[in-house]
Every structure is written in structure tokens, then in C-alpha cells.
Amino acid sequence: MDAKLISFGLIEIDGRRFDRDVVLEGGNVRRRKKKPSKSYRDRYGHTPLSADEEIPWSAPQLIVGTGAGGQLPIMPELYQEAQRRGVEVVAVPTEEACRMLSRVGPQDAAAVIHVTC
């Protein structure tokens, strides 16, 4: 997939632009539904990425774009679930996550990409 951070709050994936967090799985892109994680917001000061969401566990690697400044919190339970499933989690700022996605095939990695902070 050709992915790039265009600016704060905007990414482009295979020529399509998104101004919301996205999930990539098997070559498909969908909007991140973070409502299941909102109840943890007060604890983190930001809606974190939690295992309560529809995480794309279908690939051996999960790339998490943590935002332009790397501020997206990731709950420990997500790492625990990944370990249980045998999925490697790579959490990096969104610009780096986009570069990584451009180097792997859709069967090799899934992703959750945060577009702001």
C-alpha cells in the first residue's frame, strides 16, 4: 500500500485521503471505531487504542501509527492480546508507520493509523 502522512490530520492511502483514524486489513481501509475505547479517556487524557476495539488481528504484524507526535496511548491489554495471538505490535509515529506500510504487503501487516497528535 502506498501510504503517506500529508499533514497533521490528513493521510493518503493508495490515492485516497483520510482525515480520520483508519484501520487497514487485507488491503482494505475502514474508519477506526474508537467508541469502545472512549471509556478509558479520563485515565489517559486521550482516547487510547484498546483491545476492546475491532483490532485487525489477521496479519503477523500490527503497525500502529501513534500520530504526528506519537501521542496515541496504547493500553497494556492490547499488547497482551497481541502476544496471546502471536502478533507483533510495532508502535511508531504515523509518518514512520506510513513508510513501513509502503514496504510490506497487505498479508504481512495490518494497521491502525492515528492521524492527529
State which H helix or E strand residue 43 sits in: helix 41-44
Task: Tell me how many domains the chain contains.
Answer: 1
Range of the domain at 51: 3-114
Model confidence at 117, pLDDT cuts 50, 70, 90, reads confident
Q: Mind listing the pLDDT tens digit for each residue in 40-76?
A: 999 999 999 999 999 999 999 999 999 999 999 999 9
Q: Which 3 state secondary structure label does DSSP give 46?
A: coil
Report the CATH number that the domain containing residue 37 is assigned in CATH. Answer: 3.40.1230.10
Q: Phi/psi at 80 (nearest 5 deg)?
A: -65, -45
Q: Taking the CB of residue 92, how many other CB atoms lie within 10 A of it?
A: 15
pTM above the 0.85 mark?
yes
Cell of 58: 489477521
Number of H helices, E strands in the chain: 3, 8
For the chain, percent of residues with pLDDT exceeding 70: 100
